[in-house]
Structure 1
C-alpha cells in the first residue's frame, strides 16, 4: 500500500508541474507594423542657390508723335546666370502642401540688342525679385512636386548703341518692369544628411509689361524716337533649403 500511495503522489506532483508550465506559456503574437514618422512639411524655411536664365526681347522703334513704327520688329536674346536667396512658409494637410514665398535674384544676364538698323549694344538685366504661392503633392513622403505662380519685377541697365566704326551714338535708358510668372518644380528632403535640409529645383517662365521709352543721344538729349520692348524670360533654379518645422513628426498616408 505504501508503494501505491507513493506512486500516486508522484503522478499528482508531475501533473501539477506540467499544468503550471502550460499556464506560464505565452502565445506568440507579431508586433503591429507602425508607419515610420517623417518630417512635417509644415513650417517656414530659408534657402539659397543659383541658376541660368534666357531672355527674349521683341523690340522696334516708333515715332511717338505720329504713332507709327519706324522699324520692323526685331527679336534679340540674352543669356546668363544668377544667384538667388529665398524665404517662405508651407502648410501640409494629408499629402497636399500649400505655401507662400519671396525670392531675390542678383543677375548677370546680357546679350546683343539692335534697336535701330546698323546700331547695336549690350543689354543687361542685373536683378529681379518675385513673390508668390505654390501648391504641391507629396508623391513620396520625402518628395514634393509642385506648381507656383505670382508677381515679379526686374531691372535692365542703360544700353549704349554703337555704330560700326563710329563708336557710341545713342543710348536707351535703363528701366524696371513688373510682370507675372508661373513655374513647376520638385523638392526633396535630405533629412538623412541633415535634419531640416531640402533640395529644390524649379523651372520658371516670367513675362513683363511692355517697355516704352526714349532713345537719347550720348548727352542724354531726346532724339524724338521711342523704343518699345516686350521681354520674356525662361529660368531654371536650384536651391538648398533649411526648413524650421513647427509641426514635429508626422505620419502620412500613401
Structure 2
C-alpha cells in the first residue's frame, strides 16, 4: 500500500513539473522594435528654384545740380540741391546653386537673376536770388529694372531640416536715371542715363527642407549698385527756348550736371527650391 501511494505521488509530481515547463515565464518581456527614424535631409548637391519679394531704397541723399554757360560755372545761385527720390517695388526671378554638407555645416555658391519694378522720383526748387538767373524746377527719377548676383553662402543646421546662413558676393544690374530742369532764363535740360552697374550684396537667411527634395527659404539682402553723375542727353547740353523761337536771339550754350541717386536697396525675398540629391 505504501509503495502504491509513493508511486502515485511521484507521478503527480512529474506531471506538475511538465505542465509548469509549458507555462510562459513571468519575467520574460516581449521584444521591442523601435520605429525606424526618417532619413536625414541631404543638402549636398545642385538646386534650382524661384523667388519673389519686395525691395526699397536704402539711402536718400540730396541731388546736387551745377549749371555751366560756355563751359564756365555760373554763380552760386546756379548750384543747388533737393532731396533724392524714395523708390520701391516688387522683385521676382530664379536661382541655381550647389551646396556641400559637412556635419552640421553647409557651404555653397548661388547665382540668381531678378526682374523688378522698383522706381521712384522727386523734385525740387532752386534758390531764388533777385536779379540772378536761377534753376526753378528740377526732377529726378530712378529705376532698377533687373539685377543679378553671384554669391557664396555658409550655413549651420539647427536641425537636420533647418538651415540658417549668411550670404554675400558680387552684384550687377541695370540702373536707369531720368532728370529734367527748367530755369528762369527759359533753359530746359533733360538727361537719361541707362547703365549696367557692378557692386556687391550681402545678407542672411533661413531654409527649411520640408520634403526630401524640396525647401522653402526666406532671405534678406542689402545690395549696392553705386552712384555717379549725369549730364544732358543728345548734344551734351541743354537748350534754350530762344533757340527754337523765330525772331529771338539764341542764348549762350548751357550745360548742366546732376548727381544721381544711389542705387542701393534692401530686399526681402521668399523662395522655393528643388534639390537634385
TM over 0.5: yes
Q: Is the 8 A contact 1:46 1:88 kept in 2?
A: yes
TM-score (norm 1): 0.78
Q: 1:172: which partner in 2?
A: 192
| Bigger Rg, which one | 2
Q: Distance in 1 between matches of 2:90 and 2:125?
A: 27
Count of paired positions = 238
Q: 2:52: which partner in 1?
A: 50
String of CA shifts for 1:185-206, please: whole Å, max 9, x gaps.
1112222xxx422111111111
Q: 1:221: which partner in 2?
A: 235
Q: Residue 114 of structure 1: CA displacement? A: 4.5
Residues 1-254 of structure 1 mapped to structure 2, 5 A cutoff: 1-19=3-21, 21=23, 26-28=28-30, 30-31=32-33, 35-55=37-57, 56-58=59-61, 59-62=63-66, 70-72=79-81, 74-114=83-123, 117=126, 118-157=137-176, 159=178, 161=180, 163=182, 169-191=189-211, 195-213=212-230, 215-217=231-233, 220-223=234-237, 224-229=255-260, 230-245=262-277
Q: Which runs of 5+ in 2 are unaligned?
A: 127-136, 238-254
TM-score (norm 2): 0.72
Superposition CA RMSD, Å: 3.4
Q: 1:248: which partner in 2?
A: none
Q: Is the 8 A contact 1:101 1:132 kept in 2?
A: yes
Q: Secondary structure at the match of 2:12?
A: helix
String of CA shifts for 1:16-54, please: whole Å, max 9, x gaps.
442454689844455457654222222221111211111
Q: Is the 8 A contact 1:179 1:206 kept in 2?
A: yes
Q: Secondary structure at the match of 2:273?
A: strand
Structure 1 runs of 4+ with >3 Å offset? 19-36, 56-59, 61-74, 113-117, 224-229
Q: Flag the 1:46–1:66 CA change in 2: closer, same or farther, 3 A.
A: farther
Q: Flag the 1:116–1:128 CA change in 2: closer, same or farther, 3 A.
A: farther
